[in-house]
Amino acid sequence: MPCDLVLQNATALSLGETLALASAGLDQCDAAQFALGPDPFHLDLPPLQGATGLHNLNAATQRAIAAMYLEAELEQAGVILAAELLAQSRNELPVRSANAARKLQAFADNSRRRPTRDDRDRLFVRLFGIGRGSADAQPGLANHDFLRLLLGVCEALQIATAPAVMLPAGGGTMPAARVRSAVALLLDNLAVRQFGNTLIAGREIDAALREAIAVLTDAGIQRYFGSSGLWDTLRRIYRDLTPDLGRIITRGQAGMHLMHWIADNPALFALRADPLSDAARLREGTTYAAQWLAASGLIDVAQTVGAQS
């Protein structure tokens, strides 16, 4: 199925549902089996060497890393940072809401025990090559290959579901091999970054995200800014510096759901398996791939959908 038709039939992604799925993925992963030391925020460790790809990255860890990819993109949207700025100025803000004041104080108190902005940036640069200073990171610390490999998975799925490639059983050997290879390369890249310390930090960032959203959507905070909803509040805070929130959020959600889809369907990517044999499951993955590509500015969804209608 072409990417435009897939997108046309795709169900809109809910941020609340996506965050719930992310939290579940982090909670279900046993960080203890990967623990490397007593410091839960020791985020400057170099990647381990000698990973063997799929055999070193179980489904639970894949889902946890997928959740952290969503966190990395939401960091670029400035969700936690906005709440941190408000909490730092809580004693000067003329907020006339006791509930909002309590939330700001609690956020400030909890922030002292959680990864700082610099911690988060170092973590996301090491995991995904995303964040401040990614271009200047020491060799081996930044994962500059992740986005390229995720792009490779998306492109392989696009090619595999193109009409000319949806061949009868046994006729799609090359596209199937391309999908398998792209997924294996992505998982092999992530397998060397599955520290228990990383997962612990991911859970702390997840908690900070939820608390930040509670602050930014508080009725008293929104009255102060004259805003309606989370994204409007962020725009009022950042003004001309507001990033492209729609693109960032869609990219983060689609990327996380795509990585979850890979974790949920290991049989599709096993050696000698044919990913094209299960068209329904393949379409689901292609939906997320197309959404990620569109949010990354790599395909023009509106133009292709318009051409087909």
Q: pLDDT tens digits, residue range 281-307?
A: 888 999 999 999 999 998 765 433 333
Q: What is the CA radius of gyration of the chain?
A: 20
Q: In 3D, which of 195, 23, 40, 209 has the Cα closest to residue 110?
A: 209
Residue 235's pLDDT band (cuts 50, 70, 90)? very high
CA distance 289 to 295: 10
pLDDT recorded at residue 32:
55
What is the DSSP secondary structure assignment for residue 90, as one 8-state letter?
Answer: T
| Number of Cβ within a 10 Å radius of residue 207 | 15
pLDDT recorded at residue 132:
82
Q: Where are the domains of the chain?
A: 3-308
Q: What angle do CA 136, 141, 144 make, to 5 degrees?
A: 70
- Predicted TM-score (pTM) of the model is 0.83
Tokens of 225: 């800014």
Q: What are the residues whose beta carbons fall under 8 Å from the beta carbon of 171, sequence distance 6 or more?
A: none
Burial 77-93 (b: 16+ CB within 10 A, else e): bbbbbbbbebbeebeeb
Tens digit of each residue's pLDDT (9 = 90 or more) over 123-148: 999 999 998 866 565 556 789 999 99
pLDDT recorded at residue 199:
85
Residue 50's pLDDT band (cuts 50, 70, 90)? very low
* 3-class SS of residue 186: helix
Tokens of 119: 């911690």
Mean pLDDT of the chain: 81
Q: In 3D, which of 259, 199, 264 has the Cα closest to residue 30?
A: 199
Tell me the one-letter amino acid at 21. Answer: L
Tens digit of each residue's pLDDT (9 = 90 or more) over 179-228: 889 999 999 999 887 666 888 899 999 999 999 999 999 999 999 999 99
